[in-house]
Each structure stands twice: as structure tokens, then as C-alpha cells.
Chains A and B, each alone.
Chain A
Amino acid sequence: MDLTQTLEIATCTDPGMVRSHNEDSIAADPANGLVVLADGMGGYNAGEVASGMATTVIVTEMRQILTNAKPYEVDQKNNEEIAARLVREQVLKANSSIYQAAQSQPQYAGMGTTLVVGLFYDNRMLVAHLGDSRMYLLRENKFKQVTRDHSLLQEQIDSGIITPEQAKKAAHKNLVTKALGIDPTVEPEIHEYPTKPGDIYLLCSDGLCDMVDDEDIGMTLQTLGGNLKLAAQQLVQMANDNGGRDNVSVILVRVLREYPGAKGVIGKMFAWLK
């Protein structure tokens, strides 16, 4: 099912004001409803290699698989949705690729990347993430964070050691507790949510949410939501205006209409009519 007409996707990535390299990597496959954002880490270009490998491997592999697979179907064997399984498998594949490359090639030693993947299918959205790259959702003028960072800070907030207010001033913002390519294996956090026409999903690297308050991001999306491309550029611009200390990457996805996982000819007809 081609989602090109169903999803409007705008992307923007920028090295920011301080760094010379862009270690973020973004990729989108509108036809398959797949968006991937990765924020690499590791010295001497290794970060961009890690993030690049992550997005490329996931998008390439998923594209191949999704041409034949029906993500909304349920695997009979373990009662798991195919979509979740596919995403997990590809994340793991990317993980081992990066890990092996880091192990075997000295110039890439220690590289890794955060990851947030969104897969849209059957009026649903599946999000998998690792680390502190985030997904937000703007629905009916309410802006909220969808993912929960895998970071030391988040854990401290969760355990009540510090308050969110203190967290904003915390020094160790960038310590992530999970990442792709660091260990031989990794378990991505995967959730699935129903979507509604009009939803705007924002995937961003910490370069945006560290630099711009969530309220400001939400306001910008509400104001400029009509022009996603402009909104994406504006968000990057805001991060840069506030210092742009890190690479900034933004993917915006707007759901234009319903996209049920068509079942049979009549279902397809309905989908087409909508």
C-alpha cells in the first residue's frame, strides 16, 4: 500500500552553529510510511557513520521487506504483530552491523547512535526508539512527547531524584542508557498507537529539544502546521538561534487521511475513495 498520498513528510537536518560535522542522519520512505532518525556518537566521523548505517540499513531492509509483507497481520507463531517484529529485527540487524564495524575497524571503535523509528500502517503508528532522540505528537492542538528518553536524566526524574525543573539545568544531559551499536545486542523500546487524520508527528534529535522548549516547539507546530516544510526549517532555525550547540534534525509527518490496512478488494476501494 503506497502511503505517499496519505502522509505528508518534511525533513530538515543541520549541523548547528557549533559543530562542523552533522552526525545526525535522517531517512524517510513515504511510500512505506517509514521515517528514521538517528543521532550518532563517536569520534572522528564515526558518529555519522553509525547514524548513517542505522538509517540506511533500516530503511533499505524495511523497504525490501515491506513490499511483500503486510505489517498489520499477526504472526501466528508468537502472536506478535509483524510490524513490531520487522522493526525489532531490523533494529537488531543495524545494531549488530554497527557493533561489528566498530569492533573490527579501529577508526570506528566505540561508535554508536540513538535511534527513533516511526512506521505508519493500518491507521496506526509504531514507534521504536533507543536513546534520547524523541518523537512528539501534535493532536488537536495538544502537544505531547510520545517517547521516553533512555537517558540517565530520565531515570533520575522517574526515580524522583531530581525534578523536571532541575533536569533542565542538569549537566549530564547527554548520557544515554541505551544506544544502537554499543553492545552486541540491544532491546529497542517499541510501542504502537492509533493515528488520526490531522496528527502531526515530530521526530527530532536532542539538538532540538535541548535548545528549544517543548512549549515553543508545540506553538511552532500549531502555527506553521499548514506548511510542514516551513515548520521543519523554522524548528531548526529556532534551535540554531538558541545556540545550536548540537546537530539539529527534524522529521515531520502529517497524517492526511485514514489508511486502513486494506482487507480485500472492497476495503481497498474504500481506502481509495477516501
Chain B
Amino acid sequence: MQGGFWKADWFLGVVVVAAFALFSSMSELVPSLERKAYDAALLSASHTPSDKVAIIAIDKQSIDNIGRWPWPRDLHARMIDLLVQGKARAIGYLVFFAEPENEKINRTLAKITDSTVPAEGQPPSTTFTLVKEAQDEFNTDRKLAAAMQRAGNVVLPVLFVLEAPRGRPDQPLPAFIRRNAVANDGASPTPSSALAISELEGFGNAAAALGHLNAVPDVDGAIRSEALVVAHYDEAYPSLSAMLVARSLNLGAKDIRVGPNVVRIGELQARTDADSRTQTAFYKYSGERAPFVEDSFFDVLNGKIAPEKYRDKIVLVGPTAAGVANMFVTPVNPAMPAVAMEAQAVSSLLQEHFFVVPAWSRYAELGVLVAVALYLAVVLPRLAAGAAVAVSAALLVALLAAHFLLMMNAGLWLQLMAPAALLVVGHVALASKRFIMTERARRDADASSAESNRMLGLAYQGQGQLDLAWDKFRQVPHSDALLENLYSLGLDFERKRQFNKAEAVFRHVNQLQPDFRDVETKIARSHQLSETVVIGGAASHPGGTLVLDAAVEKPKFGRFVVEKELGKGAMGVVYLGKDPKIGREVAIKTLAVTQEFEPEELADVKERFFREAQTAGRLAHPNIVTIYDAGEEHDYCYVAMELLRGDSLARFTKPGQLLPHEKTISIIARAADALGYAHREGVVHRDVKPANLMYDPASDTLKVTDFGIARLTASSKTKTGMVLGTPSYMSPEQLAGKKIDGRSDLFSLSVTLYQMLSGKLPFDGESMAQLMFRIANEPPTPIDASVPPAIAKFLDRALAKNAEERFQTGEHFGGELRAALAASTAQATTKTGVDLEL
């Protein structure tokens, strides 16, 4: 494996497991997580508190009414008597009676009685009687002890010092405590070294039993478990709660047996840890309401609460008032008085509501931990990211669910948070590692793909696919070289007159690096142009129009600067251009080839265009328009030619606007000469018609224009549906699609002549088909009578169907035409003469 094993996923898995093990053994984090999970599950469990447990609280109300704590003990005696009267099953009195009350007074009174003891048979002295009464009054301890004795079911607390003893005890425990010792059969309960608080011997003997009240808090200070038994050297002493439960079952210390992981109270079994602790199932508070009602001591004492309420109940009497009571932290209440906690413990014992940490739990926990570690080291690295997340999440959910279900349903507490935490930490570590690795790989890949995108962009730009190039360049992150490329792409878009795209490109450049060259100006300009120019797609006019805006640099065709639009010709728009070098004005005829033609025929069309331009450019004749240049720019092919003054002859073809016959014939004869010259040069016009004959009346000049070029549009596939307008001027052979020569041009010229003389066409038809039929087959409509017969005769020959029968050359045509004119003029003169003679 490349890069060494330390980069491998499994190695990371092992490292994470080891680090986690080390960390969790040194820190409290994981155990506290376990405790939190324990509390959460405990709160989710639904145990009902036992109704056999009652609390009589020495609360604030009682202290306010009775007086400050501690109270005279005869009050307690009265309370016990009351409870006996109410037939309480067992009484847990959670008050330590460790010191005798009124000791000095009692001692003094005893001295007095001793000194005034009446002699035998003597009646007692008044002093003796009074002191004796006082002695009865003040010896409250005796009263309380007597009450306990009478009750026979009072259980009192003691407190042990919970620490492991090192040697032998200073002195044996007093007998009244030792009688509470229980049989220990192999358990190792929490050890204690001495008594912390005991009871007076008198009370100890009077009470039915004594139980320890030691609470064993967890590290976080909360009480979750109860030590059912505390060991004192070789002996074991049960807790107050255990004693109370035993008492309530009419059992005694002899009936409590401690075994490994179990404490038996008669037939009742409490499953415990190895150290005889149970995980108490704390009963929830519903809102502010405690699970056990706490009756006020005062209310019971003065009869407000009848003692009968406590019939057959285990009554716990103890302080809850602040300052008097000991408060404990528990999962259900952060400040729970000892008496309430004891009530929880008793109820939990009584109903056997425990959470148990089973003996096998450690193995199970370890097993799960190892399984998770194996998953991290072996399985996870082999999973894809998505599957890994899914599997890890499922495992996590399974662990949590196992924890909760075991706690809530089986009462088993397995510490599964450690594996869960390991799972999360391990997964995150592995995922992070992968992310870092892939990010590094991606950065490398990004860099190389950025470069190849730039190269592809350049390639596309070179191939003229600007949109694709733009697409590629956009994926490249900022670099100086990229800016250059983008800038030049923007210029290319401008050249193609795609100003909106140019603007987008320049804006992109500006975004990457503001003030790059003159990009601001370029943006403004492109923006302006993109809003004003209508160019582009097939939807626009086939000619396309370059809008000319004075504020903007003038567009150019080749070296010619476009000045303004002159009009729309057969092929496309005609512009007035200017050669900036020599100041000559030219007409620029354009053909939007990319819009007119399919891409596949484009090359062919362009080639033909330039071939035609070339042949036309060869012609140098005073009556033929001079071609200066031809070229290709912004999707257009263009021809720059001599700028002509005047109009086309189309203006003079309507009746009423006709030129005089002599003028017409002179013009047509000149056109015939020009055509004759062109034919000799091997150039056929193909589209002779009035619109292509330019005449300037001011200088009386005629120029034949548009040699050959018109044919291009006719061949455009996109235009097949439209053909060429009306073929009124076409020769029969041209209509038939035969190969044509100069004689066809002369036929067309004759049609023009006919029209200019008469204002009508020689062939006319309702429909295209009819028109074509007539041109091909029928003689021309007899011409207007005003036309001299010599001319009419000339036209008959010139419009012959068979090319052989027509005038064969332009010169011949011109000569004959001029001759016909001369003849008719002469005839007219003679006629006039004759008329005059008449």
C-alpha cells in the first residue's frame, strides 16, 4: 500500500480505539455520559410508587406552629402513640435521638428525689411528690422510649462511617445494634469502620429495629443506588429501608439474608450488585407533585389528619424543612430530603422495582466495545461514505435502543454509552480523515482539470465555437492567463456581433479582476450594443442589420468602415462604406451566409461567392459596376463595389414614368454593350432586370450591377420554398434549367426594353405556372402601338424562343437596336414630311 500503513483506514481505526480507551479510563466524561443515559432511561420508565408508603414531614408549617427544632421528645412520643392508634404497619423515625434530653434537669431532679426519698412506710413528702411529677414531666426520653416500646414497630436510623477498616474495631458495637446484624453469605457490602451517629441505648432497645441511613452518592453527587447492607468488620447491617420492609412483613433481622448479588427479605428478593447495592428505581415527580404525599407533622399531631389514614402503611417521619433536613441529589429531584428518598427506597424495595447491573454486564459491555472497535477498524474503512453513515447511525440507534429497552423493560443496566461514544468518535475521525484525503486529491484534480478546461476552451475558441469555449472558461478559476483568454473571447464575441455574450464575458473578467485593461469600457459598450442591435438567430431578418451608432466604434467590413445603411438588396443589406485609406466611398453588399445557408453547405456557398466575386471583379467596363473587394466578416460575406448615384431602371418601368424611347434605347444599347463585353470575358450575368441596371439621369450614366452574385441566394436550400420572386425576365432556357450563356442575358435585357418602352411586360400570367408557360411557349404580347415598328420588329427577334434566332452577341444587339432606332426616327421624319406634304 502506497504511503505506508499509517495512512490506512484500519490503522486510524486502531488509533482511535486506543486513544478512546486511554481517554475514557482517565476521564469522567464517559462514566458521566453513562449516568446521564441512566437517568434518562430511569425517567422514561413507568413505575408506580407504592401506596403502602406514607410520609409525615417535619416541615416549615410544623416548625412554625410547634416551635423551633429540636422539639421536646414527648411530642414524638405523642406522634408514635397516634400512629399506633392509627395501626400503622411500621414506623420509620428518621430523627437521631443520640443525646439525652433535659439531662441536667433530670439529674438535679434525681438528686432531689434521692435526698427526699421517704422512709419505708412514710408517706412521701410534698416536695418528693412535686419533684417526682417534675421528673416525670421532664424525663421526655423515658416517655419516648415507652411510646416506642408500646408501638413495637418503630425503626430508628444509625449512621456508619463508610470507609474500609484497617484493623480491629476500637470497641464492639453496642448490643442493641448488634442484634440487628444479618447473615452475610458471600457478599461484600460497602464497608464501614465505625458508628458515626448512634441512638441512645434506651431508644435502641425500645425500637423494633435499627437500620443504617448511609447514602452512597456517585461521583457527580447524585444518589442512584442504595447500599442495602453495610458491613462492619465481620458483621453486616441492613439499611433502614430494608429493616422497614422486613418489619412491615412482620420479619426481623434474622429473616434478612445477604447473598452474592441478592438480598433476601423473607421471600422478597432484591437483586443487587456484588457490594449489595441496588439501583433504586426512583419514582417520577409528575410536575411539582411528589410521588409520595408529605403530610405535615403538625396536621397529624393536632388531629387535622386522622391517624386512621396510616392504617397498614409504612410511615416515615422525618424533617423536610430547609435547615433541618438533609438534602440529596437524585435523578428525579436535585434537592430531595432524606425522608422522601427513604420513601423511594422503601417503595422500590417493596415492589422490587430495581435496575440491576447483572454480573455478566462487564463482559457484555466489553464485548460490545470490541465489536464497535472491530467495526471501526475493519468494516467501516471498506464502506462507501453514504453506506458508512447509514451503518454507523443504525449501530448507534441500536446501542441506544438496547440501553433504553433493557432498562425500561428488563430493568437491566448495561453501560453501552462507551461503545456508542466510541462509535461516534471513530466514525467522525475516519470520515474527517477521508474528507481531508479526498479534498487533497480533489484539489490536485481541480488544478489539472482547470488547466484542461482552459485548454479545451482555447481549442473551442480556435474552432470558432465560442459558446462552448465560454462554457469551459467559466469553469476555470481565476488566473492571469485566464483573464487574457477571456478578454480575447469577449473580443471574438464582439466580432461576431454577439454583444450580449461579449458583455457577459467582460463582466466575468471584471468580476475576477476589476480594472483589467479597458474591460469597464468594453462592458459599457457591449451593453449598449446588445440593447440596440437586433442580430442573431434565424428569427431576425435574413440580412441582419448592423446598427450604426455614432457613439460606438464603427463596424468594419475588411478595410471598409461602414458609414450607414443604404437599403436592402436581393441578398441582404447594402451599406455605405468608406475606404479610410483613400477616402473612397463604396457600396457594400452583404450576404448573411450563416443565416442564409445550412452549415454543411456553408463552405460551398462561400467558395462560390468568392468565385463569382472574383469573376465579376475581373470586369472593367465603363458600364459595369467596379468591384473593389470581397471578403468575409462577422458571419457575412460582402462585396465592396463602386458607389452609384441615381436609381435603378425599375423606377422607369411604370406607365406614366417611362423615359422617352430614344433615351430608353440609348440606355439599353449601352447595357447590351456592357453585357457583350462581359460575355466575351466569360461572365454571364444571369439576372438582368431593371433593378440591376443603375442609371444616373444627372450624368446620363448606366451601370450594370450584381454580376452573378444573385444566383447564390437562388441556390440556398433554406430558400427553396420562396424561389426567386417572379421570373418575368428569365429566358425560356433559363426557366428550363438549361445551361445558359450570354444570349439568355440578352433575352432578359429585351424584356426590360419591352417594359421600359411600353410600361408592360411582354409575358404576363395569372400565376407563376401560366407566366412560365407563356415565356416558354407563347409569343410576346403585341407591343403598344406607340412603339415604332422597327423597334417592335427588333423586339420580336430579340424575344425569340430559340436562342439561335436571337441576336447572338451584345454588340450585335446594341448595334441592331441603335439601327432600329435610327430607322424609326428616319421613318417618322419622312412620315411627318409626307403628312406635311398632305
Binding site for B on A (CB under 8 A): 27, 45, 49, 52-53, 55-57, 59-60, 93-94, 96-101, 104-105, 107-108
Task: Identify B456's interface contact among A45, A56, A99, CB under 8 A.
Answer: A56
Cβ–Cβ < 8 Å partners of B455 in chain A: 49, 52-53, 55-57
Task: Identify A101's interface contact among B452, B459, B481, CB under 8 A.
Answer: B459
Interface: B464 (CB within 8 A): yes
Cβ–Cβ < 8 Å partners of B463 in chain A: 93, 96-97, 100
In whole angstroms, how far apart are the Cα atoms of A57 and B484 in the complex?
A: 20
Report B455-478 residues with CB < 8 Å from chain A CB: 455-456, 458-464
Pair A60/B492 contact, Cβ less than 8 Å: no
Interface centre among A53, A98, A107 (most CB of B within 10 A): A53
Task: Identify B462's interface contact among A45, A101, A107, CB under 8 A.
Answer: A101
Interface: B451 (CB within 8 A): yes
Q: What distance in Å separates the Cβ of B632 from its nearest Cβ neighbour in chain A?
A: 14
Cβ–Cβ < 8 Å partners of A59 in chain B: 452
Which residue in chain B gives the minimum CB-CB distance to A107? B484
A52-B462 CB under 8 A given contacts A45-B481, A107-B484: no
Known pairs A53-B455, A60-B456, A105-B484; list 11 more (Cβ under 8 Å).
Answer: A52-B452, A53-B458, A57-B456, A60-B452, A93-B459, A93-B463, A97-B458, A97-B459, A97-B460, A100-B461, A105-B488
A104-B462 CB under 8 A given contacts A56-B456, A57-B456, A60-B456: yes
Which residue in chain A gives the minimum CB-CB distance to B2? A229
In whole angstroms, how far apart are the Cα atoms of A145 and B535 in the complex?
A: 56
Pair B451/A99 contact, Cβ less than 8 Å: no
Q: What distance in Å separates the Cβ of A104 from its nearest Cβ neighbour in chain B?
A: 7
In whole angstroms, how far apart are the Cα atoms of A195 and B484 in the complex?
A: 44
Show 22 A/B contacts (Cβ-Cβ < 8 Å), sorted by A: A45-B481, A49-B455, A52-B451, A52-B452, A53-B455, A55-B455, A56-B451, A56-B456, A56-B459, A57-B456, A59-B452, A60-B452, A93-B459, A94-B459, A96-B462, A96-B463, A97-B459, A97-B460, A100-B461, A100-B464, A104-B488, A107-B488
Pair A100/B456 contact, Cβ less than 8 Å: no
Cβ–Cβ < 8 Å partners of A108 in chain B: 458
Which residue in chain A gives the minimum CB-CB distance to B492? A104
Which residue in chain B gives the minimum CB-CB distance to A27? B452
Pair A101/B461 contact, Cβ less than 8 Å: yes
Pair A99/B452 contact, Cβ less than 8 Å: no
A53-B488 CB under 8 A given contacts A45-B481, A60-B452: no
Pair B481/A57 contact, Cβ less than 8 Å: no
Cβ–Cβ < 8 Å partners of B462 in chain A: 53, 96-101, 104
Q: What distance in Å separates the Cβ of A27 from its nearest Cβ neighbour in chain B?
A: 8
Task: Identify A49's interface contact among B458, B464, B492, CB under 8 A.
Answer: B458
In whole angstroms, how far apart are the Cα atoms of A94 and B456 in the complex?
A: 10
Cβ–Cβ < 8 Å partners of B451 in chain A: 52, 56
The 3 closest A-B pairs by CB, nearest first: A100-B462, A97-B459, A56-B455
In whole angstroms, how far apart are the Cα atoms of A114 and B464 in the complex?
A: 23
Q: What distance in Å separates the Cβ of A176 from its nearest Cβ neighbour in chain B?
A: 21
Q: What distance in Å separates the Cβ of A111 from its nearest Cβ neighbour in chain B?
A: 10
Pair B459/A53 contact, Cβ less than 8 Å: yes
Q: What distance in Å separates the Cβ of A142 from its nearest Cβ neighbour in chain B?
A: 31
Q: What distance in Å separates the Cβ of B222 from its nearest Cβ neighbour in chain A?
A: 61
Which residue in chain B gives the minimum CB-CB distance to A102? B462
In whole angstroms, how far apart are the Cα atoms of A101 and B464 in the complex?
A: 10
Cβ–Cβ < 8 Å partners of A98 in chain B: 459, 462
Which residue in chain B gives the minimum CB-CB distance to A94? B459
Q: What distance in Å separates the Cβ of B394 from its nearest Cβ neighbour in chain A?
A: 34
Cβ–Cβ < 8 Å partners of A55 in chain B: 455
Q: What distance in Å separates the Cβ of A23 from its nearest Cβ neighbour in chain B?
A: 13
Cβ–Cβ < 8 Å partners of B481 in chain A: 45, 49
In whole angstroms, how far apart are the Cα atoms of A56 and B492 in the complex?
A: 22
Cβ–Cβ < 8 Å partners of A96 in chain B: 462-463
Which residue in chain B gives the minimum CB-CB distance to A101? B462
Cβ–Cβ < 8 Å partners of A107 in chain B: 484, 488
Which residue in chain B gives the minimum CB-CB distance to A229? B2
In whole angstroms, how far apart are the Cα atoms of A98 and B463 in the complex?
A: 9
Cβ–Cβ < 8 Å partners of A56 in chain B: 451-452, 455-456, 459
Which residue in chain B gives the minimum CB-CB distance to A53? B455
In whole angstroms, how far apart are the Cα atoms of A100 and B456 in the complex?
A: 13
Cβ–Cβ < 8 Å partners of A97 in chain B: 458-460, 462-463
Cβ–Cβ < 8 Å partners of B454 in chain A: 52
Which residue in chain A gives the minimum CB-CB distance to B449? A56
Which residue in chain A gives the minimum CB-CB distance to B454? A52
Q: What distance in Å separates the Cβ of B132 from its nearest Cβ neighbour in chain A?
A: 113
Which residue in chain A gives the minimum CB-CB distance to B480? A45
Cβ–Cβ < 8 Å partners of B488 in chain A: 104-105, 107
In whole angstroms, how far apart are the Cα atoms of A45 and B455 in the complex?
A: 13
Interface centre among A27, A55, A56, A100 (most CB of B within 10 A): A56
Q: What distance in Å separates the Cβ of B576 from its nearest Cβ neighbour in chain A?
A: 29
Which residue in chain A gives the minimum CB-CB distance to B488? A105
Pair A57/B492 contact, Cβ less than 8 Å: no
In whole angstroms, how far apart are the Cα atoms of A105 and B451 in the complex?
A: 18
Cβ–Cβ < 8 Å partners of B452 in chain A: 27, 52, 56, 59-60
Which residue in chain B gives the minimum CB-CB distance to A57? B459
In whole angstroms, how far apart are the Cα atoms of A31 and B464 in the complex?
A: 30
Q: What distance in Å separates the Cβ of B333 from its nearest Cβ neighbour in chain A?
A: 67
Q: What distance in Å separates the Cβ of A115 from its nearest Cβ neighbour in chain B?
A: 14
Q: What distance in Å separates the Cβ of B493 from its nearest Cβ neighbour in chain A?
A: 12
Report B407-463 residues with CB < 8 Å from chain A CB: 451-452, 454-456, 458-463
Cβ–Cβ < 8 Å partners of A45 in chain B: 481
Cβ–Cβ < 8 Å partners of A49 in chain B: 455, 458, 481
In whole angstroms, how far apart are the Cα atoms of A49 and B462 in the complex?
A: 12
Cβ–Cβ < 8 Å partners of B461 in chain A: 100-101, 104
Query: Interface 1/0s, chain B 733-767, versus A by CB < 8 A?
Result: 00000000000000000000000000000000000
Which residue in chain B gives the minimum CB-CB distance to A103? B462
Which residue in chain A gives the minimum CB-CB distance to B459? A97
Cβ–Cβ < 8 Å partners of A94 in chain B: 459
Cβ–Cβ < 8 Å partners of B460 in chain A: 97
Cβ–Cβ < 8 Å partners of A104 in chain B: 461-462, 488, 492
In whole angstroms, how far apart are the Cα atoms of A57 and B452 in the complex?
A: 8
Cβ–Cβ < 8 Å partners of A27 in chain B: 452
In whole angstroms, how far apart are the Cα atoms of A99 and B459 in the complex?
A: 9
Which residue in chain A gives the minimum CB-CB distance to B463? A97
Which residue in chain A gives the minimum CB-CB distance to B456? A56
Q: What distance in Å separates the Cβ of A187 from its nearest Cβ neighbour in chain B?
A: 19
Pair B456/A101 contact, Cβ less than 8 Å: no
Q: What distance in Å separates the Cβ of B485 from its nearest Cβ neighbour in chain A?
A: 8
Q: What distance in Å separates the Cβ of B464 from its nearest Cβ neighbour in chain A?
A: 7
In whole angstroms, how far apart are the Cα atoms of A105 and B458 in the complex?
A: 10
Q: What distance in Å separates the Cβ of A70 from its nearest Cβ neighbour in chain B?
A: 25
Q: What distance in Å separates the Cβ of A227 from its nearest Cβ neighbour in chain B?
A: 12
In whole angstroms, how far apart are the Cα atoms of A99 and B464 in the complex?
A: 12
In whole angstroms, how far apart are the Cα atoms of A107 and B491 in the complex?
A: 14
Which residue in chain B gives the minimum CB-CB distance to A54? B455
Cβ–Cβ < 8 Å partners of A93 in chain B: 459, 463
Q: What distance in Å separates the Cβ of B6 from its nearest Cβ neighbour in chain A?
A: 20
Q: What distance in Å separates the Cβ of A40 from its nearest Cβ neighbour in chain B?
A: 11
In whole angstroms, how far apart are the Cα atoms of A98 and B459 in the complex?
A: 6
In whole angstroms, how far apart are the Cα atoms of A257 and B200 in the complex?
A: 99
In whole angstroms, how far apart are the Cα atoms of A251 and B460 in the complex?
A: 27
In whole angstroms, how far apart are the Cα atoms of A100 and B492 in the complex?
A: 12
Q: What distance in Å separates the Cβ of A86 from its nearest Cβ neighbour in chain B?
A: 17
Interface centre among B451, B452, B462, B463 (most CB of A within 10 A): B462
In whole angstroms, how far apart are the Cα atoms of A108 and B492 in the complex?
A: 15
In whole angstroms, how far apart are the Cα atoms of A60 and B464 in the complex?
A: 18
Pair B458/A101 contact, Cβ less than 8 Å: yes
In whole angstroms, how far apart are the Cα atoms of A105 and B488 in the complex?
A: 7
Cβ–Cβ < 8 Å partners of A57 in chain B: 455-456, 459
Q: What distance in Å separates the Cβ of B487 from its nearest Cβ neighbour in chain A?
A: 9
Cβ–Cβ < 8 Å partners of A99 in chain B: 462
Which residue in chain B gives the minimum CB-CB distance to A100? B462
In whole angstroms, how far apart are the Cα atoms of A146 and B459 in the complex?
A: 29
Q: What distance in Å separates the Cβ of A20 from its nearest Cβ neighbour in chain B?
A: 15
